[in-house]
């Protein structure tokens, strides 16, 4: 059993609102307007790389994206997420949101938005 537990990561807690994030590149082709900047931190990744949990933040502006399967909870900030051929989502602190793989989205970030997420690839 000791060998097995040595391979599993320890349980942990992170204060999402205070976590230090690192710059993440944003493809200039995704920027519709403004000068949004993205930062983030991967907290855990499965050995096969298909499950990722972390924290992500974006400053105000408008960007487009093609989504992965994702569940996230907004910690701070506000945005409008338009899903092509679907709903327009108004999200803010405390909101849980599910995006489907392949969803084409336009994010209008009104206030710097920070979220905790789980992505399935």
d(CA 75, CA 11): 21
**pLDDT at res. 27:** 96
- In this prediction, the residues of the chain whose per-residue pLDDT falls under 70 are 1-8
d(CA 109, CA 58): 8
**pLDDT at res. 100:** 97
Handedness of CA 121, 97, 117, 39 (dihedral sign): positive
d(CA 110, CA 22): 21
């Amino acid at each position: 059993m000791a060998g097995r537990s040595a391979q599993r990561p320890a349980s942990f807690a992170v204060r999402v609102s205070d976590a230090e994030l690192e710059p993440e590149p944003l493809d200039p082709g995704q920027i519709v307007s403004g000068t949004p900047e993205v930062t983030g931190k991967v907290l855990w990744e499965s050995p096969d790389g298909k499950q990722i949990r972390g924290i992500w933040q974006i400053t105000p502006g408008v960007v487009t994206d093609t989504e992965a399967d994702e569940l996230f909870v907004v910690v701070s900030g506000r945005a409008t997420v338009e899903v092509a051929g679907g709903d327009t989502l108004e999200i803010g602190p405390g909101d849980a949101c599910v995006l489907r793989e392949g969803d084409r989205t336009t994010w209008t970030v009104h206030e710097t938005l920070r979220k905790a997420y789980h992505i399935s690839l």
